[in-house]
Amino acid sequence: MRSYEDQVAAALEALPADVRSAALDDLRAALLDGATEADLGSPAEYASHVLDAFARSTDPADGEGDVFGVPFETRGPTDPAVRSRIWAPADPHILVPRMFGLGWTINLGAVAVRLGLLRPDDWDDESLDQVDPRLLTALRYAPVAWAAAAVVIGVQTWRRGEPVPTSWDGRGRPKAWSTPSAALLNSAISAGFAAWGTRATTGDDRMIRPALGAAGASLACAMAVLTSRSAKHPDENVPVPALLAVAAAVLPGHIALPVAVALRKRGHRW
Amino acid sequence: MATDRVAQLRKGVLELAILGLLRAHESYGGEIVTALAARPGLDASAGTVYPLLSRLKTSGLVDTRWAESTSGPPRKYYQLSAAGQAALTDGTQAWRGLVHALDSLLEVSE
């Protein structure tokens, strides 16, 4: 027999993740306050009250929509509501509208739920407050470390004065070249991501924004390493997939660490 | 039916009533339900009040915090945010204007 909360959660599946999560968090508060089914109504009635309350606020936001079923987004990752899609455990959809343009991106929260690492309702608005602020500060400034590495590598490459590659073929061999100053482009991109990722923010965005900043900065740093290596050894293949995989692991890692700490503080087995 | 009309009218103003209750001090959900029940015409079930609190929270009009209770499980407290304060001021003005206009209209029609 499913619990009252699970039945309400199932009835609210169509709601956006942040709205559903907020509604379930308040339902938990009601149950802890001692409210019973006699006070709240049946799960279906409670869910209909929630849907009614949010009826005016769940219309697609400006900038959101779909083309023949493929979602598009024009606000981009500069909007915190858009960024929050990558960590939404209460949203069962693994593929969610991407942060900019047409298509989808991955909801890491739904992936974690699917892997059995947490339940959809294990995460709420206050969960991240369980994390030591020093860890959040360290994560916030992590993109700077990637950018610093990218700048050092970029400047070293530029100072060697060799032509630098600007694209590679599938085997990792350079196929187009530019002047040495092009090596500084990766450094500039990485620094831009770092500057963006370290800006102050609130709520879950305290881990999401730096995670995206670090992902961008580390990708640019990986490109700086590839560029340097190919400039030095133009006839060798570079391990493009390996370097890109390292950069791709940064985003989930940046989310997983504070989530694990927060859930452990609440007695979760993580 | 008259009771349905009252219910619809009340539904529209419950959000404003909750903001008004939170003006003086923060409260947990059960307190808000009890405080509304003490005012004839504004009483609403927990099943109505908690979803409205969720909506106020996601609209940024209230802030929340969990706090240990001396007499049981932890409680979620709701308090007015700066945006909620502004919404309460606007809502109060709009409500007074509406009541005034409607009173004049109803007096004429009586």
Domain ranges of chain A: 1-59, 63-123, 130-265
Nearest-by-CA chain B residue for A42: B47
pLDDT tens digit sequence for B15-45: 999 999 999 899 999 999 999 999 988 888 8
CATH code for the domain in which residue B79 is found: 1.10.10.10
Q: What is the pTM of this model?
A: 0.59
In angstroms, the CA B41 to CA B1 distance is: 16
pLDDT tens digit sequence for A97-106: 777 777 778 8
Please tell me the total count of domains within chain B: 1
Out of A83-97, A152-166, A186-200, B67-81, least confident range: A83-97
Question: In terms of residue numbers, what domain contains B51?
Answer: 2-109
A181 neighbors A158 (Cβ within 8 angstroms):
yes
Nearest-by-CA chain A residue for B50: A26
**pLDDT for residue A65:** 63
Mean pLDDT over each residue of chain B, to the nearest integer:
86
In angstroms, the CA B50 to CA A29 distance is: 8
- Point out which residues pair with A66 in neighbouring strands: A71
- Report the alpha-carbon angle A123-A125-A126, nearest 5: 90
**Which DSSP state fits B43?**
-
Residues of A in contact with B50 (CB under 8 A): 26-27, 29-30, 35, 40
In angstroms, the CA B26 to CA A107 distance is: 34
In angstroms, the CA A53 to CA A12 distance is: 12
Write down the ipTM of this complex: 0.79
pLDDT class for A172, splitting at 50, 70, 90? confident
Distance from CA of B11 to the nearest CA of A (A): 10
Distance from CA of B93 to the nearest CA of A (A): 22
pLDDT class for A58, splitting at 50, 70, 90? very low
User: Residue A184: which H helix or E strand, with range?
Assistant: helix A183-197
